[in-house]
Amino acid sequence: MIIKPRGTTDILPKDTPIWQKTEQTAREVAALYGYGEIRFPTFEQTELFARGVGDTTDVVQKEMYTFLDKDGRSMTLRPEGTACVVRSVIENGLLGEAMPLKLYYFTSCFRYEKPAAGRYREFYQFGTELFGAETPASDAQVISLADTLLKRLKIKADLQINSIGCKSCRPKYREALISYFKQYENELCDTCKGRLNTNPMRILDCKSPICGQIAKNAPKVTEYLCEDCRTHMDKLKSLLDDTGISYEVDFGIVRGLDYYTKTVFEFIAPIDRDAKTGEVKSLTICAGGRYDGLVEEIGGPRSPGIGFAAGIDRLIAAIKMSGEEISAQNGPRVYIAPLGEAAAAYAQKVVYELRQKGVYAECDIVGRSLKSQMKYADKIGAEYTVIIGDNEIETGRAVLKNMKTSEQCEIELNKIDTII
Ligand code: HAM
């Protein structure tokens, strides 16, 4: 038997209603904030991610699905959406239009990660990107969009924010981190040993307990922020306070992608409970930050940007953890059960006309007996049933039965929609 690749999911009809509801809510919230939808290709030139996401990141070094196309060009299945949106807005000249430019997207992403609860190799994101504003007010608005989405989905999440500085202050912080972690080089995990000279900030969010312990006493970014980054962060905090959005400042939030500058943030929520131990597992369900140098890095004009992406798989896991029930599609309003060949053809016509009028109707297409048709109608949750035989075809009238109350009444077949 052929089975799905490891780390991928089939989303079955019993689950699609919760996906649709989540996506619909995200669309509504994006519209409330004036965002327009953008769609982009599933694969891009590998160089886009190498330059955009960063050569030294785990995503680029270890996790990309990269292949040569038939012309020998290196292509990569998108591991995230931001670099793709930036490429598209530059290529399509959108940065010359009314600013700020506000875009949202739904996208599948591909990362060769070790599969676990809430961690897949193909996963889905709802993302937003805002270009052309570098004020703390734009950061606050983007965070408030994510906060509104989570509230509407009834997900209780903790917001953590941090500043990782900018081009001018980050090099000094980087130096300080390198010289601090050098003292513990032998104790660091193998991944962090590799990160020491390439991406020392990433050691701060390593999940290994030893690295975590060492990171606790590492220099704090706040001591190295330049005046501009410091005031930016202070203003953002006061705007969030004024709006009533609660948050914690966490110096360990450094993000796994290289393009970030200044503000970074993550919303963390419970997504799983271990069946044996009952232990609750929390993960980042939504994350983002400012990327003021990315547009230039990818070949566009200088244009600040900020955005976030929420993992839809994780949002849904969090909704399920909160006990929220989202029901599956309702059954048909009416099931037409034909008796005999002529009636079967007639039932097709009645059902077609009802559907034209916007009524969800079904009839037999399997050739079942009347008894098993009735069983089936009950099973799929039909609200009403109508049995059609030769007599009903002749008179154009039939008996309509309410499946819940068992009440019956005679109706004209071409007027079913006015009665139900
Ligand atoms: P990211 O933190 O790599 O950021 O991913 C954003 C979200 O996608 C995560 O918070 C998580 O919910 C979900 N996610 C990531 N990896 C996986 C996985 N393997 N399985 C399931 N869900 C996952 C970005 O992708 C940035 N592009 C976000 C952004 C937009 N920053 C600015 N604008």
Domain boundary assignment for the chain: 16-169+225-321, 334-418
Contact by Cβ (8 Å): 177, 219: yes
C-alpha 316/C-alpha 311 separation (Å) is 9
Closest-CA residue to 97 (of 143, 71, 132): 132
Q: Which atom of ligand 1 is nearest to the CA of 286?
A: 10
Please give the structure tokens belonging to residue 190.
Answer: 């193998």
Contact by Cβ (8 Å): 81, 125: yes
Please give the structure tokens belonging to residue 284.
Answer: 């980042």
Roughly what angle, to the nearest 10 degrees, separates helices 136-152 and 16-32?
A: 150
Pocket test for ligand 1, best of 125, 153, 290, 295 (most atoms within 8 A of CB): 125
Pocket test for ligand 1, best of 109, 164, 263, 267 (most atoms within 8 A of CB): 109
CATH among 3.30.930.10, 3.20.20.80, 3.40.718.10, 3.30.43.10 for 16-169+225-321: 3.30.930.10
Ligand 1 midpoint to CA 255 (Å) = 10
C-alpha 108/C-alpha 113 separation (Å) is 15
SS3 249: strand
Q: Is the pTM of this model over 0.85?
A: yes
Contact by Cβ (8 Å): 72, 101: no
CATH among 3.40.50.800, 1.10.10.10, 3.60.20.30, 3.90.1200.10 for 334-418: 3.40.50.800
**Rounded to whole angstroms, what are the CA distances from 303 to 100, 142, 225?**
10, 17, 22
Q: Which atom of ligand 1 is nearest to the CA of 284?
A: 10
Closest-CA residue to 59 (of 107, 112, 105, 8): 112
SS3 79: coil
Q: Whose CA is nearest to atom 30 of ligand 1?
A: 308
One digit per residue, pLDDT tens: the chain, 420 residues?
999 999 999 999 989 999 999 999 999 999 999 999 999 999 999 999 999 999 888 899 999 999 999 999 999 999 999 999 999 999 999 998 789 999 999 999 999 999 999 999 999 999 999 999 999 999 999 999 999 999 999 999 999 999 999 999 999 999 999 999 999 999 999 999 988 988 899 899 888 999 999 999 999 998 999 999 999 999 999 999 999 999 999 988 988 899 999 999 999 999 999 889 999 999 999 999 999 999 999 999 999 999 999 999 999 999 999 887 777 778 999 999 999 999 999 999 999 999 999 999 999 999 999 999 999 999 999 999 999 999 999 999 999 999 999 999 999 998 999 988
Q: Whose CA is nearest to atom 11 of ligand 1?
A: 311
